[in-house]
Amino acid sequence: MTSTEAAVGVAEQALRLGVSKDTIYRLVRRGTIPGFKVGRDWRFFPSQVEQALSTPVDLWAPPTRRRRA
C-alpha cells in the first residue's frame, strides 16, 4: 500500500477482481483478503488484496479459524 492509495468499497473491489459482491463478502469473512470496516461498510486497499491473492495457499494446512457449531 502506498501512502496515497485510496481504499475502495465492496462494489469497486468486486469489479476489479471480476467477481460478485457476495464473493467479496465471503472472501473477507474467511480471511482470504484483508479489509476493514468503516461503520457498516467494508473497505479494501487494492494492493493488499492483490498481494493476499497472489500468495500461494497450502491446501493441506489446518484451518486457522474454527467453524461455529
Q: 10-46 pLDDT, tens per residue?
A: 999 999 999 999 999 999 998 899 999 999 999 999 9
Residue 38 within any structural domain of the chain:
yes
Domain assignment of residue 14, yes or no = yes
Distance from C-alpha of 13 to C-alpha of 18, rounded to nearest angstrom: 8
Question: pTM value?
Answer: 0.76
Task: Domain count for the chain, please give it.
Answer: 1
Q: What local confidence, expressed as pLDDT, does residue 66 receive?
A: 64
> Does 1 fall in a domain?
no
Q: What range defines the domain where residue 45 resides? A: 10-54
More confident residue, 69 or 34: 34
Res 58: pLDDT: 83
**Is 69 part of a structural domain of the chain?**
no
Residue 60 belongs to some domain of the structure: no
